[in-house]
Amino acid sequence: MSENAPVRTPRHRGIYLLPNLFTTAAMFAGYYAVVASIGGRFTEAAVAVFVAAVLDGMDGRVARLTGTQSEFGVQYDSLSDLVSFGLAPSLVMYNWSLSSLKGFGPVWGKIGWAAAFLYAACAALRLARFNTQVGVIDKRYFQGLASPAAAAVCMSFVWSVEKFRAEGQDINGQVLCFVTLVVAVVVGLLMVSRFRYFSFKSLPMGERDRVPFLWVLAGVLVLVPFLIDPPRVLFVVFTLYLLSGPVVTLWGRAAHRRRIRRGRP
């Protein structure tokens, strides 16, 4: 090493704390959702999971902007996702609705907590599969429904029903326990399915990226109804996204078979 070479000042390692603080905050929001659901505050629980989703989307971006990506951060983020988007939604749905199935008999009671566990187990499997395939899959698509989107479908469903109840309608989680059972099982299985979901990672998001004016207009058109009725708009949006995976995948397979019959690759 040359004596005239400048000596680099070692980078302060405390900056690695910043993205992990966002990850910890996301996990805290998921944990709070469980506590709120135990206390019967189901709207707060649903909102807390959405807060966790926002924070989860920020930790990776903060790590990239500050150059503080690390293997520890990746693993910690996965554990946080399991709490916020696996355990929290499953327990919220159980406390809100699935626990009511025991009123139809002990067998139905077991089916209720089994459905909640199935959702949590599928979320864990989904995260494990994603971690092992992160370097080989097409980044434009997710294989299976991402756990934050799955949590968003379930929690927007809970939030929407709670808003109907707050408006004086005779509807709650106990009444919809069988509907919740179907939602938990279907959403859980979609997480471990092979359906392809658009990841939105190929969209222009950087400072130098430019988007058409129509994108800005579309954003405004989506934002206005969201501000008017957040839970129902979120439920519609994420339900459409949930359905997009099977539709796009099956449509693509049908188109591929037609090309083969026509003698095209």
Q: What is the 3-state secondary structure (H, E, C) of 28-47?
A: HHHHHHHHHHHCCCHHHHHH
What separation in angstroms does the CA of 29 have from each of 35, 123, 128, 233, 258? 10, 17, 22, 22, 48
Calculate mean pLDDT across residues 121-149. Answer: 86
Per the structure block, which two tokens stand in for 209?
């990226």
178-201 confidence digits (pLDDT tens) = 999 999 999 999 999 999 998 876
Calculate mean pLDDT across residues 69-76. Answer: 85
Q: Please answer whether residues 43 and 162 qualify as being in contact, where contact means their C-beta atoms are separated by less than 8 angstroms.
A: yes
Q: Please answer whether residues 264 and 179 qualify as being in contact, where contact means their C-beta atoms are separated by less than 8 angstroms.
A: no
Residue 153 confidence (pLDDT) above 70: yes
Strand partners of residue 198: 141
- Cα separation, 106 vs 141, whole angstroms: 41
Percent of the chain with pLDDT over 70: 86
